[in-house]
Structure 1
């Protein structure tokens, strides 16, 4: 599959974006938000075609599904991005050398950003809005599960761009076939940055096969540690929200660590989970504490495989620990660097956890479900980076820009 012409068109369109005024960009984004709602019936009908091909029991079904309410949220996020200050042209550093050279480090676009994602059609809107605001063209490679949805969304976006006289190739949707993924991974010289969003298997495949820079996102094995000084009322609400709000997203809770001295509170901590029929895989001490207090048909003995698993389902592991240090060691071994939280009324324990838990986002007395660009006030997000190079955590406008040095002289030459 030769997709070179598509990459070339995206590259050329990206250069044209450099001349698009900021105000015009914001007008386009607001128009896309309006059009997404005006065309909601069309988008939802195409999304229904995708949903027909997937079992509702599949954990990915919730990610794939669009609703009127979700389109309203997407439109609101797009308008929020329009309202945010431009991330471009910011002077990040300014100095004048002794020889008079004036140096400025200035934020600029990447150029072309490629995103590979699975059954999440909302990503098509999010990536477009962020990339447009950040001055980059985008090349989208969605999964076959969401192909009808993605094509409908990009068609709506293209219609708005053409109405504004803007080259529609600033957003290119590749074919859903696997060959297109391989081509994108090799698009050196055309695509400046590649961001995979999806399963750990997808991210690993991209990391191992790409010939262009990659920022890893998405895989989330998230823990909540209920400390010796934890408030059980707060803890029950935090655990329930983090686990059940949306089980298919990367910030969903996968494992609860409970201090051994608080095992008597474990039934109360887990009680709200019963309403959502959450299956618990508990170690021997936690299992004993829960038996007779949690539905027997939802309670199983944990094995090693349950710890470090991103369930993306109404399932959760519970592990008993004897100290904060043991909880931190467990997280270091089984976590994915996404989001971790501690539930405690001890300020010292909270501070130690925040400092030592190695993750992009660490919480004290709040659920991991808040790990989201919109919740952080960043507008939509292009993904949650779980690595440490360039960007970490929710990646929004600032994180998808790079910089270059502007050097202003007056005839200076470097001595031999």
Structure 2
């Protein structure tokens, strides 16, 4: 794709965004319904083209160029199509994020100020191998009245192209939806063109490695909402219910290891390590989890094949059936390890002591912190957000799973009756009342 072609698509998205912002929710929901139905109707085609992507990826896996985790994320089967359709329908069922009056204030008689939710405008996204991510992002953009530029990985090119075509054609069945609201770019070099188009794009949401997100941030003037890797931890406290802790630690790693909210490091308090570690190691062995541990972990699990963990292991997102384990002396040591090595994604403490849980949860710097729950709950759908564009590990303007609310901003509307600023200046200036009131614009 030429630079001119990329620029044309971005400019078309900006024009569409101005129209889409004023399409009522019934029409946006109708388009989402059409998209869900079309994906369901074309499931065999989607699976067939995905098979091509998977076959090519497996060849590269055999050559050592791809990981098993990437191939796993790439696959689309009947069950995955079902979940994609359900996700689109759930977005349609959610309340309209636009037009909500966030605040209303009387400035003076007949002078009222309203703060109202509106779309961001044009959102550029770059995401990894999961084809369902394309549908999630497009659906959330449509519901929130935003145009969207989609750039998926080359490993999912056939799947992404087919899903994009289905989405674009289905949405056009609803006359009010402007053409050009969704755009697909495929060439790697097109990303650099997008990064330069700050006049047209309002927000970038890259999903990928820290290195890639940093590259985007360093090479654009467009605001960036970064989704980086998930180096997630589960800490088994000395006051944990150990049977429950085995189940949670197992779920956090094994339920779906290829995603960013899977646990990568297990921390265990020294008081319960000798009892807990053999039990959880047995469960991990059943699932084929490769363990890497510190010296104390390896001493306790002397009859288990546990490789020596390196400093790099404490900072690695494996995305696979690999887990690092460390025995810690205390709760503060666990907190320090997480804050030093984590990626500010999702962390969990397993304990029956609410005070210790609160200490951990308030001291940890992460977008999501759990008590007695698997890190796998860090997900837009599970949070009730309908779906997610990504999980933001930054702090501005959205944090954690980014759903509809994270794709809106606000503007101020002022309703007056010939009011003049001169009336509120000088010796006889009128006073402002600045009274909050319940009201919608």
Secondary structure, counterpart of 1:381 in structure 2: coil
Q: Any residues of structure 2 matched to 1:298-313 within 5 Å, and which?
A: 299-313=306-320
Give every structure 1 segment of 4 or more consecutive aligned residues whose post-TM-superposition deviation is greater than 3 Å.
Answer: none
Q: Is the 8 A contact 1:232 1:269 kept in 2?
A: no
Q: 1:245 to 1:218 in 2, by over 3 A?
A: farther
Which among 116, 121, 137 is matched to residue 111 of structure 1?
Answer: 121
Match of 1:151 among 155, 158, 161: 161
Q: Does 1:33 align with 2:36?
A: yes
Take 2:172 and 2:30, find their aligned partners in 1: how far apart are those partners? Answer: 13
SS of the equivalent of 2:315 reads coil
User: Within the alignment, does 1:195 sit opposite 2:205 as a pair?
Assistant: yes
Q: Which moved more, 1:83-92 or 1:22-31?
A: 22-31
Residue equivalent to 1:398: 405
The aligned residue for residue 324 of structure 2 is 317
- Answer whether contact 1:233 1:269 (CA < 8 A) is retained: no
Q: 2:340 aligns with which of 326, 333, 341?
A: 333
Q: Secondary structure at the match of 1:404?
A: strand
CA RMSD across the alignment: 1.2
* Counterpart Cα distance in 2 of 1:218 and 1:248: 14
User: C-alpha separation between the residues in 2 aligned to 1:384 and 1:226?
Assistant: 24
- Indicate if the aligned counterparts of 1:218 and 1:386 stay in contact, CA closer than 8 A: yes
Maintained 8 Å contact 1:240/1:270: no
State how far apart, in whole Å, the 2-side matches of 1:275 and 1:205 are.
Answer: 40
Q: Which of 352, 361, 367 is the equivalent residue of 1:354?
A: 361
Q: TM-score, normalised by structure 1?
A: 0.96
Alignment correspondent of 2:429: none
Contact 2:32 2:171 in 1 (8 A): no
State the match for 2:230 in structure 1.
220
CA deviation profile, 1:314-362 (whole Å, cap 9, x unmatched): 1111111111000000011001100000011111111111111111100
Runs of at least 5 residues in structure 2 that lack an aligned partner in the other structure: 62-66, 426-441
- 8 Å CA contact 2:31–2:173 kept in 1: the answer is no
**Local SS of the residue matching 1:127:** helix
Match of 2:299 in 1: 288
Q: Which moved more, 1:105-114 or 1:259-268?
A: 259-268
Count of residues in Structure 1 that have an aligned counterpart in Structure 2: 411
Cα drift, residue 164 of structure 1: 2.1
- How far residue 99 of structure 1 moved from its aligned partner, in angstroms, is 6.0
For the residue of structure 2 that corresponds to 1:182, the secondary structure is helix
| Structure 1 gaps, min length 5 | none
Where does 1:135-146 land on structure 2 (aligned, <5 Å)? 135-146=145-156
Deviation string for 1:26-55 (max 9, x for gaps)?
A: 111111111111101111111111111112
Query: How far, CA to CA, are the matches of 1:229 and 1:249 in structure 2?
Result: 29
